Amino acid sequence: MVSAGVHSYVVDLATPDTPTLLMTRVCSELGVPQILVNSAGVYLAHSLLETEITYLDEVYAVNVRAPILLTREMVARNIHAGSAARIVNVASVSGQIGSPDAAYGASKGALIAFTRGAGRAFASSGIRINAVAPGIVDTDMARVIPEDRISSYLSDIPLHRLASPEEVSAAVAFLLSEQASYLVGTVVDVNGGMS
């Protein structure tokens, strides 16, 4: 029996074999997890003309490939164990309306499409896959956005402020809860009305 507590693992999700190695380690040390939140992300506020291949590769490796592979590992292990799992992908409003950082917006759009497809594919196995699509959240990641761009975003947000991390985590917690038991492949917008 595993004792309660916090266990942390520092990994590089841009490395292709990390998701499988990480899930193997977690399962051997803690048992098969039933909750996965894919929240890691790369965003540097680069314009399309500033986007170099190394940035594009890193954005897709962390924002798209890693969540897909972690989800694959989670689904495979839960189906094998005959247990249910709940997975939430942290996408972005940028995946719905686009972004000046085109690589980031495209990666989050891919994550939304993955959520919808995988959610439908594994619902009958008792595995729920959903996503949240935050607007701009008041975190260190948002601090790389140029000030003029932040001002423009704020004018487009009916609430005229950034989201707090707690507002996003509340939506994630809801999707992981039994209150969301009938939601499959759903994307919950947490964007203050931004569109």
Residue 185 Cα distances to 66, 75, 115, 116, 175, angstroms: 18, 14, 5, 4, 11
* Rounded CA separation 183/185 (Å): 7
CB atoms within 10 A of CB 103: 24
Look up 60 and say whether it is catalytic. Answer: no
Of the CA atoms within 13 Å of residue 96, those in its CB half-sphere come to: 17
Find, among 193, 189, 168, the residue nearest to 96 by Cα.
189
What backbone phi and psi angles, to 5 degrees, belong to 144? -85, -10
Catalytic position from the list 60, 104, 153, 182: 104
- Which residue blocks in 61-180 are alpha helix, DSSP H? 66-81, 94-97, 102-122, 147-156, 165-176
* Rounded CA separation 124/93 (Å): 28
Helix (H) or strand (E) holding 29: helix 18-30
- 3-state secondary structure at position 85: strand
Q: Active-site residues: which are they?
A: 104
